[in-house]
Every structure is written in C-alpha cells, then in structure tokens.
Amino acid sequence: MLIEHRMRTALALLVKGLVPALLLAGSAQAEKYVLLGWNDLGMHCANGDFSSFVVLPPYNNVRAQLVYSQEGSLPQLVTEGVRIDYSIPGNTTSVTKTNFWDYAQQIFDLPAPLPPDVGLTGNGLTGSMEALDGFFEVTGVPITPFQDDDLVNEQPFQLIRLEARRESDNFLLAMTEVVIPVSNEIGCVSSGCHSSEQSILNHHDDEAGFDPNDTPILCARCHSSNALGTPGIPEARSLSYRLHEKHKDFRPTNSIATCYKCHPGNQAQCLRGVMATGIDEPMICQSCHGTMRDVAESISEGRRPWLDEPSCGASNCHGSNYAEQPNTLFRMSTGHGGLYCSACHGSPHAILPSSEENDNLQVISLQGHAGTLAQCTVCHTDIPMGNGPHGSPAPAAAVADLQIVRLAGNQAHLSWSPVQGVSSYLVYSMPSADARPAQWTLLGDQAATEYDDLIGTPDEERFYRVVCASH
C-alpha cells in the first residue's frame, strides 16, 4: 500500500538524515506530518572582514511550516505542542572563521560583547525556531560560508537541518534539510573595481564630520538601510540608492556580470532559479529589477528598497492569478492552505527547480522530482477533488476517458486524452475500484498521456487511476 511504501521511504530517509514527511500508522487511520523549510531571500551577503567598513553582518533567516494531515480531513498547519530545532551539519562554529565578534560591539553600539557564535538577535548556529502565526522562524543565524573542515573555499549553499519534535516526549515528527545561503562576495576590492576599502572611505573625506580613519564604520549608520532597520542621515540618502546611483554608468549596463561585481557573485551565482537557468530565454537580474540607473531612479521616485520589489503578479509577468497578496512581498505572501509561496516555489532567486542541487533536495524527497511542490498527496492524505493553488482546475481530478487495454505478456496499456492546461499526470494502481487513496501505489509522474504497466500474472485483477498533477 502507499502508506507502507511511504513509511519505508521515510525510514530510508531517516537513515540519511532527511525526513520531510513522516507517516504514522494507527490502528484505523493514517496520519502524517510534512515539514517545509526555506530561506527568506535566497542569498545573504556578509562582509568577509569587519575591520574597515561594514555593509552587512552575518545574519541569516530561515522559515518553516509544519503540515499535519489525517485521513478524512484537510491538512492543517501546526505550531502548538511542537517545536522545530535547527542545526547546520558540518558548520558548528563561526567565531574562528571571521573577525565579526572582534568588532560587533563597536559597530552596532551593543551594551556588551556578543558571546562567541551568537548573532545580533541572540540566536546561534543551533537552537529552536520561534513559533509564530502559522509558521516558525529563526532570524540572525550568524553563519559564514566556510565549513569546519575547509576554511579557505566558500560553500555558499550549505544545508540547515530542521527537526519537528513533539514537545511532550521529544518524538521526531518530521525532518528536512534546506539551503541556508551565505556568501562573502561583497566584491568592492575583489571585483577589481577599488584598490582597497580604505580608498572607498577616503572618497568621503569632504563630508563634514566624517573621519575615514575612524574604523570600523557601519555604512548604514549614515546611509539608511531597510535591511538593517537604520534611519541614517536624510541628506546622505539610503545605501541602496547611493550604491546604485554611483555605479549607474558601469558597463555593460544590462548584464548579470555587472550585478555580480557586488552581489554574490562570480563564484556563488546566487540567481539560480528556473527563470534564470531553466527556460529558453533566461532572465537576468535586470529583467525584474532594471539596470542600476533604473534602481536608483525608482528610489528617487519613492520606491522603498527591500520593501517595494518586483511583483510576480505584474501584468507583464505571471498575471493577477499568480500574484502575491496585496501590498505584500513574495517572501511574505501566503496562498493555498496558508502555505507561504516559498514553501512550494522555493526562495527568491532560487525558484524551483534550481540549478543548485541542494535547493532541490527537499522537493525531490517529497515528490520524487525537482520543481514546484505540486503533488497533492505530499500534504493531503485523501486526494482532493477541488481546485488547487491559484485556482487551478482540479489538480488531482481523475482524467475522464482513461482507456485500459490488456496486452500479451502480462502488460496493461493505459491511455487518455490530454487535459487542457495540465502538464503532468500521476498514474496509480489500486487493489480495488473503491480503494482509499492511502492504498494507491504511485507508478509514474509523467507528461505523456499513455503508460505501460507490467502485471504479475495474466489473471491478476488490477485497477488504475490517472489524476492531473500540475499545470
């Protein structure tokens, strides 16, 4: 049965340390927990050295949602009676990999030095996420791009392990590993653009009251930053505005290589989602954000950097049916069943399927292939018959004209007509015509509208169902 198959799969994944969905078999009903995690931005930058000027500290945010499902009822988001612990395999310390802790108190005007491996929010490299309204979150994880066994080569797409446990007895309900991205490729000097960080500070020597030698200096102290929540000095303008305005004539203006001079970067290549790597005409940074001149001018016209960003639902993009919630960023928007957009689609800049293998691990373990999390049975114990995400028509509805022909050699040939707007189909075998969904066995997930199944014996009776999987 499907539940037995998934239990075996869950146990196999448990050995590997990855159990996003764990089914629990009861005497009468089956229930399961599904844990979905993601990073909020798809990439976090941090200075490699904090002795001169500071753009961003080590500060990473991860969110998660825990879905509970039981036969006969709709899935529910769970935050009570459970906790989600996090850890970063292979990266257990940061204090020996950066000089951030030497300067953090001075840079951020802290009342006392930060304890080793503790970030600006009080969180470390291990701990428990905070339960909020329908989701869990940990902010300010002070991770560096260097793993414990390699302090030279950056690993920008490391994995953070999330474990959902029942608080009453510490029982493991579900586990997953998702990318916690970080890079030191803030490349003012390494890009070849500036001779030194000090030379950049020296360009400010005509600013009244500014001492370029009084280091370390937090750029956001003068230049406001919505990322760090600093008001800055109004006359100095925001850091986002100044950086893009000062470099607006950098050539080539419409190239991803230009953005990678400052954003991570030639090594990390943080724009790695399907729109940049998986379509015939790949998009680049400028496709959504515009050129550096466009970015600067939009801020001058009132756009708030970090808070007002390109919309998936724009008329020249995906349209209103695939829009975020009104006046809400993609990374803050929820949709089907209260799930965050990123729970199914991936993080910004890493929309699934991603060219980075680690980004795809969670969905592969859940539905068997990379891409948008689109298989209804990942969360639903009973296959739903209603409309799916974005109002898509009956994503799990069975095809209406399934034809089954028994062939010689114990084969069955299945065929059906294409369903408009559907790009893939799930083929199931069933022990009886009225078998419950938990008893179905998934045979294939495919785009083709025919399937050949090998049957054990010529007289074996087998039943089939083909449902629409994605659009």
The more confidently predicted of residues 131 and 403 is: 131
Dist. CA 11–CA 96, nearest whole Å: 36
Q: At what angle do helices 292-300 and 239-246 cross, to 10 degrees?
A: 140
Interatomic CA distance for residues 235 and 251, integer angstroms = 28
Same-domain status, 112 and 129: yes
- 104 and 166 fall within a common domain: yes
Check whether residue 287 and residue 239 sit in a common domain.
yes
Same domain, 34 and 146: yes
- 126 and 172 share a domain? yes
Q: Quick check: is 268 in a domain?
A: no
Task: Indicate whether 136 belongs to any domain.
Answer: yes
Which among 141, 158, 50, 154 has a CA at the least distance from the CA of 99? 50
What letter would DSSP give residue 105?
H
In a domain, 360, yes or no: no
pLDDT above 70 for 447: yes
pLDDT at 23 over 80: no
Percent of the chain residues topping a pLDDT of 70: 90
Mean pLDDT of 71-78: 92
Cα 378 to Cα 371: distance, rounded to the nearest angstrom: 14
Question: Would you give the DSSP letter of residue 123?
Answer: -
pLDDT in tens, 230-269: 999 999 999 999 999 999 999 999 999 999 999 998 899 9
Q: Which of 206, 299, 275, 286 has its CA nearest to residue 250?
A: 286
Does 117 share its domain with 224? no
Q: Which residue has the tokens 């005007």?
A: 109
State whether 221 and 109 are in the same domain. no
- What DSSP element (H or E) covers 31? strand 30-39
Specify the pLDDT at position 455.
84
How many domains does the chain fold into?
3
CATH number reported for the structural domain that contains residue 437 in this entry: 2.60.40.10
Cis peptide before 282 (omega within 30 of 0): no
SS3 170: coil
Q: Are residues 41 and 81 in the same domain?
A: yes
In a domain, 126, yes or no: yes
* Residue of higher predicted confidence among 322 and 470: 322
The CATH number for 101's domain is: 2.60.40
Omega of the bond prior to 234 within 30 degrees of 0, cis?
A: no
Nearest 10 degrees: Cα torsion 227, 231, 233, 236 = 30
* pLDDT at position 350: 97
- Of 41, 60, 34, nearest in space to 162 by CA: 34
Verify that 69 and 138 share a domain, yes or no. Answer: yes
The verdict on residue 350 lying in a domain is no
Q: Which helix (H) or strand (E) holds 11?
A: helix 2-16
pLDDT given for residue 8 in this prediction: 34
Range of the domain at 91: 2-184+369-378
pLDDT of residue 437: 62
User: Mean pLDDT for the chain?
Assistant: 88
35 with 133, same domain: the answer is: yes
**How far apart are alpha carbons 96 and 143 in whole angstroms?**
11
Q: Is 25 in the same domain as 77?
A: yes
DSSP 291-347: -HHHHHHHHHTT--TTTS---TT-TTTT-GGG--STT--GGG-B-GGG-BHHHHH-S
- Tens digit of each residue's pLDDT (9 = 90 or more) over 117-157: 999 999 999 999 999 999 999 999 999 999 999 999 999 99
Higher pLDDT: 25 or 175? It is 175
Task: Tell me whether residue 342 is in a domain.
Answer: no
Place of tokens 């910004």: 348
The string of pLDDT tens digits covering residues 180-208 is: 999 999 879 988 899 999 999 998 977 87
Q: Is the pLDDT of residue 7 over 50?
A: no
Q: Which of 316-330, 341-355, 366-380, 394-408 has the lowest mean pLDDT?
A: 394-408
State the amino acid at position 177 in one-letter form: E
Supply the DSSP symbol for 470: E
Share of the chain above pLDDT 90, in %: 67
Instruction: Decide if 11 is inside a domain.
Output: yes
Q: With respect to residue 327, please indicate whether it lies within any of the assigned structural domains.
A: no
Q: Measured between alpha carbons, how far is 51 from 65 in angstroms, rounded to an integer?
A: 38
**DSSP string computed for 205-254:** TTSTT--TTS-SEEHHHHS-BTTTTB---GGG--HHHHHHHHTTT-SSTT
How confident is residue 385, by pLDDT bands cut at 50, 70 and 90? low
For residues 282 and 136, membership in a common domain is answered with no
